Amino acid sequence: MNHYQQLQLHFARLNDLGHVQAIAGWDEAAMMPTGGGEARGQALATLEVIMHGMVTDPRVGDWIEGASEEQLDPWQSANLREIARSYRQSTCIPADLVERQKLVTSRSEQAWRRYRAENNWQAMAPLLQEVVTLAREEAAVRADATGLSRYDALLDTYEPGMTCARVDPLFADLKGFLPDLLDEVLAGHAAEPLLLPEGSFSVEEQRQLGLELMRTLGFDFEHGRLDVSHHPFCGGVPSDVRITTRYRTDDFVAALMGVIHETGHALYEQGLPANWRQQPVGQALSMAMHESQSLLMEMQACRSREFLHYLTPHLQHAFAAADPARPAWSEDNLYRLYTRVKRGYIRVDADEVSYPLHVILRYELERDLMEGRMEVTEIPEAWDQRMQQYLGLSTAGNYSDGCLQDVHWPAGLFGYFPTYTLGAMTAAQLFATARRDNPELLQQLGDGNFCALLGWLRDKVHSQGKLLDYDALMTQATGDTLQAHYFRDHLQQRYLGL
């Protein structure tokens, strides 16, 4: 075998271990009894060290150097580029740090599930401090290796090439217009009273409706499933995608939209290039692109007036408590329900107008944490200050709905949050282009027909894997790099009729 073939075989084996890791991680979140936590954490830490050792094997460096002199086609060249990136990112991190981080974050994440439910910041803070200490250690090592700032070095692991210098102007623009837009939309909502559908909506009723809509969107149940977890997520691998949601019997909106959101992620995974799934080039491009696929389905497509026309009779028939004759179950009222804008505490339940403000809050705090400008003990107060500034709400003493609501920091995922809003902007630009390319797209969604939309995404995004970088893929798909005006135009059109 030549050098490239050696790399391909090596990373195919590494992908197999990643498959096992992904399913074990899903099981930990969705199925594992609490007593299994310590042993699972140790097992995952061991697997993480083994995988890190494979990526940093000195032979990989030699193979990369040799393969760079060989004749490769465009996909192979892109795969070599991604392998080299993975090698650089991994060789700068000591194996003992990898193991320590996995043990600490596993323990912290499992404790978070308990302490969030108890509103117990005092018990969670010491565990989070351990996570932050190791994340800072990782950030310092990556910064030394890349020449980036500490936070940029972490952000780059989720969104290659992205830096605070690019994020800050985008977020400053959002902070400049979103608060006023939020006020204007809320004033308009006050003139349109919303009727809340009443009743107890059983978990089974909600689950069956979610499964039905997953089929409508194009989810392949031969290669995936739906379950329940404390925090909705999409995991697994392209051939076995696991998505989760969480249910409340007094509210069917959050769970259903959670299912649609995670289905968007899953469709991306199921559409990745089949011939390259065992290689780095066959993986999802970036976290912002991944988030764009979930938000495109949840926000752009499935909160449209046209889709609510399709969804209304399904909602009316799904729940025993539903009475189609009552005004609360009318199409107009249900549309207002699904496009309701309000100031809320919970990010994952936020509407698309206020959601970016939730993300900006987290971005600013985690950036200061990693750069040493803030300590863990200061998080609750800083969180409360920014919630009041951006959303007019106080979380003083309410840790469960404040700084303990997300799993990301207990899991050590610093640098991740900005990708959510970058994803929302990406989704708006992709959906606007898909509508331009297919003027009948919204009408098709009104018929519950997602074939054309999913086909467009398969062609423009999913099947591309990591063949192109983010800017190149956006230019190829939409004719331009990421532009903020698509997102602004979408919000103004939907919520102000402009």
What amino acid positions are annotated as catalytic residues? 262
Which pair of structure tokens corresponds to residue 24?
């074990």
- How far apart CA 109 and CA 104 sit, in angstroms, is 9
Strands 234-237 vs 224-228: parallel, antiparallel or unpaired: unpaired
- How far apart CA 381 and CA 360 sit, in angstroms, is 16
Distance from the first to the final alpha carbon of the chain: 61
Residue 393 exposed, middle or buried by CB count within 10 Å (0-12, 13-18, 19+): middle
- Strands (E) across 147-239 are located at 224-228, 234-237
Q: Classify 227 in phi/psi space as left (phi over 0), alpha (psi -120 to 50) or beta.
A: beta
The position carrying tokens 């909506």 is 201
The position carrying tokens 């979380």 is 395
- How far apart CA 290 and CA 268 sit, in angstroms, is 7
The one-letter amino acid at 90: S
The one-letter amino acid at 121: W
Task: Find the angle CA(234)-CA(238)-CA(241) to the nearest 5 degrees.
Answer: 40
The strands making up 240-245's β-sheet, listed across from edge to edge, are 224-228, 240-245, 234-237
Residue 243 exposed, middle or buried by CB count within 10 Å (0-12, 13-18, 19+): buried
Who contacts 494 (Cβ-Cβ below 8 Å, separation ≥6)?
Answer: 303, 339
Residues counted in the chain: 498
The position carrying tokens 């990406």 is 426
Who contacts 479 (Cβ-Cβ below 8 Å, separation ≥6)?
Answer: 433
